[in-house]
Amino acid sequence: MTDTAELSLAGKNSEYPVLSGTVGPDVVDIRKLYGATGAFTYDPGFTSTASCRSALTYIDGDEGVLLHRGYPIGELAEQSSFMEVAYLLLNGELPSADELGKFETTITRHTMLHEQLATFYRGFRRDAHPMAVMCGVVGALSAFYHDSTDIHDPQQRMIASHRLIAKMPTIAAMAYKYSVGQPFLYPDNSLSYTGNFLRMTFGVPAEQYEVHPAVEKAMDRIFILHADHEQNASTSTVRLAGSSGANPFACIAAGIACLWGPAHGGANEAALNMLHEIGTPDRIPEFIARAKDKNDPFRLMGFGHRVYKNYDPRATVMQKTVREVFDALKVSDPVFETALRLEEIALNDSYFVEKKLFPNVDFYSGVILSAIGFPTSMFTALFALARTVGWVAQWNEMITDPDQKIGRPRQLYTGPTQRSYVPMSKR
């Protein structure tokens, strides 16, 4: 027996089925609401709206739970690898050793870019933001692979998915190399996915590059933490673009564009810039006051979340990883102390407690990435590199969803009612 939800509107009653998932909130299926009532629902920002069914990622924001295909992010971060999490998100189950080996080989064999793509970089100013470069180059990929754009052919969808996952590290590393005026390095198939990325980013043709194991492990874990996150803004962008049947590479470019915003993936860059602006802990109260001031647009970057009303479980792992990287590299950074102090002060301030504003994935990531050697401008590009796995998995799930149709929201119209054109002579 399916539960139903009743709606009484303009003296008319209508009923809608209530659907239950395996876990999490039920949904009211309102697909027939407009036909039954002539009214739309109104939910700017989709704060109470489920846009799709999905089996990929589950978040319990009140409990601070994040599961990928049922596996807790903390266990995956500690025991898995980014390639294994990519396989899990794409295929639904953890791979056998043989399945993982085959998957890694497939991805490795697609890490090279078409040689023509390197010329796209030359069109950018050297000081172009890496996210601008990523948008442009990933969008350009849609002009190169005409053998994998029939999105209704599972084989073509999978080859496009593998190409995207495989080429993002190469594209991101080339964006960094271009910005510092160093030559591009080709992928090295003898290295791991993450080791290959580190070498393409920090290696130079003039000498052998040794991947630091602790850095490789930390980077791989950071990729895992960023892999997927339910129907966030950039994933919803990829799904909406894909719902029209658009080229998969163009859909991922749309996701990159959305992720760039400081309210979303751009927050990791903004958070480290904020911590540097704060400088020393004695200036924290000034910034806390600004964050609470309704007349000041300033927000604590790396704090708050649409879904998490508890500590973001990814931030917990990220903070632990800061200490591991600092120990491994024998470095320290006073900005980490400032971040820890800021968190402590904010989490004891009634404004943040009442609004349930906790550190999110972006609060500590910049401290680690900076210690590894990335410039702040590369932080969101790294987020895009990792989130491509989630975007691609969500895109595949959307295309194979029998409920799926082109996304086309409606509106509450507040403009003028119909009126006649006024000739210039009469204005």
Residues marked as catalytic = 305, 362
Q: Which residue is nearest to ligand SDX (CB)?
A: 304
- Under DSSP, the state recorded for 199 is H
Query: Would you say 218 or 267 has its CB closer to ligand SDX?
Result: 267
Draw the binding track, 193-232, toward ligand SDX (x: CB under 6 A; -: no contact): ------------------------------------x--x
Instruction: Quote the least distance from Cβ 274 to ligand SDX, whole Å.
Output: 10
Residue 25 contacts by C-beta under 8 Å, 6 or more apart in sequence? Answer: none
Instruction: Quote the least distance from Cβ 55 to ligand SDX, whole Å.
Output: 17
Query: DSSP string of 69-89?
Result: TTEEHHHHHHH--HHHHHHHH
Q: Could you say whether residue 309 binds ligand SDX (CB under 6 A)?
A: no
Q: What is the distance between the alpha carbons of residues 157 and 140, in angstroms, rounded to a whole number?
A: 18
Q: What is the distance between the alpha carbons of residues 207 and 113, in angstroms, rounded to a whole number?
A: 23
Count of residues near ligand SDX by CB under 6 A: 22
Q: What is the distance between the alpha carbons of residues 205 and 155, in angstroms, rounded to a whole number?
A: 37
Q: What is the distance between the alpha carbons of residues 125 and 195, in angstroms, rounded to a whole number?
A: 28
First to last CA, the chain: 63
User: Can you give 209-232 as a three-state secondary structure string?
Assistant: CCCCHHHHHHHHHHHHHCCCCCCC
Q: Could you say whether residue 267 binds ligand SDX (CB under 6 A)?
A: yes
Draw the binding track, 30-49, toward ligand SDX (x: CB under 6 A; -: no contact): ---------------x----
Nearest CA to 273 out of 344, 356, 339 is that of 339
Q: Could you say whether residue 248 binds ligand SDX (CB under 6 A)?
A: no
Query: Would you say 221 or 229 has its CB closer to ligand SDX?
Result: 229
Query: Would you say 134 or 174 has its CB closer to ligand SDX?
Result: 134
Candidates 102-110, 189-197, 243-251, 263-271: pick the segment binding ligand SDX (CB under 6 A).
Answer: 263-271
Residue in 46, 355, 373, 375 binding ligand SDX, rule: CB under 6 A = 355
Residue in 95, 139, 195, 304 binding ligand SDX, rule: CB under 6 A = 304
β partners of residue 65: 60
- Sheet of strand 12-19, all strands in order from the earlier edge strand to the far edge: 4-9, 12-19, 27-28
Q: Could you say whether residue 239 binds ligand SDX (CB under 6 A)?
A: no
Candidates 80-88, 272-280, 303-311, 364-372: pick the segment binding ligand SDX (CB under 6 A).
Answer: 303-311
Residue in 217, 299, 320, 341 binding ligand SDX, rule: CB under 6 A = 299
Q: What is the distance between the alpha carbons of residues 387 and 226, in angstroms, rounded to a whole number?
A: 6
Which residues here bind ligand SDX, judged by CB under 6 A? 45, 229, 232, 263-265, 267, 291, 299-307, 355, 357, 360-362
